[in-house]
């Protein structure tokens, strides 16, 4: 039978022969009867010399046919169909949980469930009454408890009249935990630019706490889950992937100061606002703030690294202080630099930096001597290659002179001193 299979197509025949052999002579075989309790029975199989010789002579065919990854998948019982000699070591489950082997470990059946179980208990439902004179409306959103003192991260528009007066709604909101406990929360801080707010609750019993991760470690394609209460349906979990890690507010047609968002395809709806975006380690990597109403799979979250800085400024200044230079800036890379050099041979010789295409008249940058076409290569004594680096270096340094090195047309180096002003967030 096996020689007939091989004679038709040696390569496929060998494969078929192999699977036929496995089906008929499969090592340990479990036998059971309806009348007799199931009991495994070991059956020893002997292979004749001609058949053994046939299999040995076809070893090259087998090694080619079955070495491709597409042939090897996990069986329903959870065992690999590959020979153990050709398999890579099974990843350590402890390393998988910590994220060390994340690039090499496929999404497991329980990965999302474990992540949701880790962060879920700390997700709360937030309700607030919005007063509009003789009328009032109830807004519903979510939040995440981030410390044992009852500090909750949420959205500004969940606790304030965001679109009209930008005033906090009486400073009090209702907070409901997943275990059914109810509290009156106090709105501590609100930042309308980022749409981030902090609420506080007091509890005599221990509170569940979510662990904060790092959004800087995310890459497009990473799995994430969104937790919250869409349409008042509490304890709802949706999953998806990170579509973009640095979606700019200008890309979304949002005016005002520059902001960056995590774009995902997680399903979020009204009521999800303020809820956490969580990685597969169960760590909060963002705060869900909005979606595109006319499209599916376009939702946005404030990166947790940005949220952490906002919370630090809340503690330090009681508000978020944003320095303003008055520059329009553009990140440069090798391809953009080459393109600019093609158009203008006098474009500065740089490998990285931030191009200044526009200087706003009367701004701190204008008074400092910035010119359109300058390329910022150093800021406050440190080499920079992107706008985000400049923003991070400025932090909340308003009124402090900062040294900036720019390279101009013809490779002229100029050192400027700029004094940032506080941004007017209402413009």
Q: Is the pLDDT of residue 208 over 90?
A: yes
pLDDT given at position 11: 46
Q: Is the dihedral of CA 125, 174, 143, 162 positive or negative?
A: positive
Residue 163 has pLDDT above 60, yes or no: no
Give the mean pLDDT of 69-98. 37
Q: Name the catalytic one among 139, 157, 215, 239.
A: 157
Average pLDDT over residues 204-212: 95
Q: What is the mean pLDDT of residues 74-84?
A: 36
Q: Answer for the pair 360, 372: CB distance below 8 angstroms, yes or no.
A: no
The confidence score (pLDDT) of residue 330 equals: 94
Tell me: pLDDT of 388 over 60: yes
Judge whether residue 254 has pLDDT over 80. Answer: yes
Instruction: Please state, in angstroms and rounded to a whole number, the distance separating the CA atoms of residues 119 and 123.
Output: 7
Q: CATH top-level class for 217-304? A: mainly beta
pLDDT computed for residue 220 by the predictor:
96
Indicate whether 61 pLDDT > 60.
Answer: no
How much is the pLDDT for 314?
94
DSSP type of residue 92: P
Q: What would the mean pLDDT of 255-274 be, rounded to a whole number? A: 89
Segment (H or E) for 88 = none
pLDDT of residue 291: 87
b (16+ CB within 10 A) / e for 263-278? bbebbbbebbbbbbbb
Residue with the larger pLDDT of the pair 56 and 131? 131
* Active site annotation includes 251: no
* Residue 259 pLDDT > 80: yes
Instruction: Give residue 203's pLDDT.
Output: 94
Most confident of 63-72, 92-101, 362-371: 362-371
| Confidence band, pLDDT 50/70/90 cuts, at residue 161 | low
At residue 192, the 3 state secondary structure works out as coil
**pLDDT band, residue 271 (cuts 50/70/90):** confident
| Cα(228)–Cα(222) distance, integer angstroms | 20
For the cut 50, the answer to whether the pLDDT of residue 64 exceeds it is no
Q: What is the pLDDT of residue 374?
A: 96
Which of the residue ranges 47-51, 122-126, 157-161 has the most confident prediction, judged by mean pLDDT? 122-126
Q: How confident is the model at residue 171 (pLDDT cuts 50, 70, 90)?
A: confident
Distance CA 14, CA 10 (A): 6
pLDDT value at 119 more than 50: yes
**Alpha carbons 61 and 49: distance in angstroms, whole number:** 19
Mean pLDDT value across residues 258-282: 93
Whether 329 shows a pLDDT value over 70: the answer reads yes
> How is the chain split into domains, by residue range?
2-79, 217-304, 323-422
* Annotated catalytic residue within 195, 281, 305, 374: 195
- Please give the model's pTM, rounded to 2 decimal places: 0.70
DSSP conformation letters of 24-67: HS-SEEEEEETTEEEEEEE------HHHHHHHHHTHHHHHHHS-
35 is catalytic: no
Share above pLDDT 70 across residues of the chain, in percent, rounded to a whole number: 70
What's the topology of domain 323-422? Pdz3 Domain (2.30.42)
Q: If pLDDT is split at 50, 70 and 90, which confidence band does 126 have?
A: very high
The Cα 355–Cα 104 span in angstroms is: 38
Q: To the nearest whole number, what is the mean pLDDT of the chain?
A: 78
How large is the average pLDDT for residues 115-119?
94
Distances (CA, A) of 53 to 67, 83, 353: 21, 20, 67
Confidence of residue 382 (pLDDT cuts 50, 70, 90): very high
Express as a percent the part of the chain with pLDDT over 90. Answer: 55
195 is known as an active-site residue = yes
pLDDT for 270? 85
23-37, 171-185, 313-327, 328-342 — which is least confidently predicted?
23-37
- The yes-or-no answer to whether 217-304 and 323-422 have a common fold is no
CB-based contact 282:211 (threshold 8 Å): yes
Higher pLDDT, 21 or 290: 290
Say yes or no to pLDDT of 305 above 70.
Answer: yes
Higher pLDDT, 292 or 75: 292
Residue 99 in this model has a pLDDT that exceeds 50 = no
Query: What value does the mean pLDDT take over residues 126-136?
Result: 70
pLDDT level of residue 109 (50, 70, 90 thresholds): low
- Candidates 111, 139, 215, 273; catalytic one: 273
């Amino acid at each position: 039978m096996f020689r007939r299979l091989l004679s038709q197509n040696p390569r496929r025949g060998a494969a078929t022969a192999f699977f036929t052999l496995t089906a008929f002579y499969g090592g340990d075989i479990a036998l059971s009867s309806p009348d007799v309790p199931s009991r495994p029975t070991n059956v020893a199989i002997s292979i004749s010399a001609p058949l053994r010789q046939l299999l040995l002579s076809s070893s090259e065919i087998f090694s080619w046919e079955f070495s491709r990854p597409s042939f090897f998948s996990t069986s329903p019982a959870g065992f690999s169909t590959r020979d153990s000699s050709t398999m890579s070591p099974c990843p350590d489950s402890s390393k998988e949980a910590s994220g060390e082997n994340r690039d090499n470990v496929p999404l497991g059946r329980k990965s999302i469930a474990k992540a949701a179980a880790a962060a879920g208990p700390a997700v709360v439902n937030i309700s607030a009454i919005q007063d509009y004179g003789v009328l009032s409306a109830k807004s519903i959103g979510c939040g995440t408890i981030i410390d044992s003192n009852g500090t909750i991260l949420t959205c500004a528009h969940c606790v304030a009249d965001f679109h009209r007066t930008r005033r906090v709604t009486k400073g009090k909101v209702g907070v409901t935990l997943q275990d059914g406990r109810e509290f009156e929360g106090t709105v501590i801080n609100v930042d309308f630019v980022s749409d981030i707010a902090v609420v506080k609750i007091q509890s005599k019993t221990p509170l569940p706490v979510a662990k904060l991760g790092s959004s800087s470690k995310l890459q497009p394609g990473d799995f994430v889950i969104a937790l919250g209460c869409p349409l008042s349906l509490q304890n709802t979990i949706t999953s998806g992937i990170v579509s973009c890690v640095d979606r700019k507010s200008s890309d979304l047609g949002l005016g005002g100061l520059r902001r960056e968002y995590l774009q995902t395809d997680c399903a979020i709806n009204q009521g999800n606002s303020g809820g956490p975006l969580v990685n597969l380690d169960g760590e909060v990597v963002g705060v869900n703030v909005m979606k595109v109403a006319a499209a599916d799979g376009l939702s946005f979250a404030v990166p947790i690294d940005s949220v952490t800085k906002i919370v630090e400024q809340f503690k330090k200044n009681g508000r978020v202080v944003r320095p303003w230079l008055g520059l329009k800036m553009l990140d440069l890379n090798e391809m953009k630099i080459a393109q600019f050099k093609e158009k203008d041979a006098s474009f500065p010789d740089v490998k990285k930096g931030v191009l200044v295409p526009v200087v706003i008249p009367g701004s701190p940058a204008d008074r400092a001597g910035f010119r359109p076409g300058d390329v910022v290569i150093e800021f406050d004594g440190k080499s920079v290659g992107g706008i985000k680096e400049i923003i991070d270096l400025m932090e909340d340094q308003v009124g402090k002179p900062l040294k900036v090195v720019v390279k101009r047309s013809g490779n002229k180096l100029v050192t400027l001193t700029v004094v940032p002003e506080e941004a007017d967030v209402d413009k």
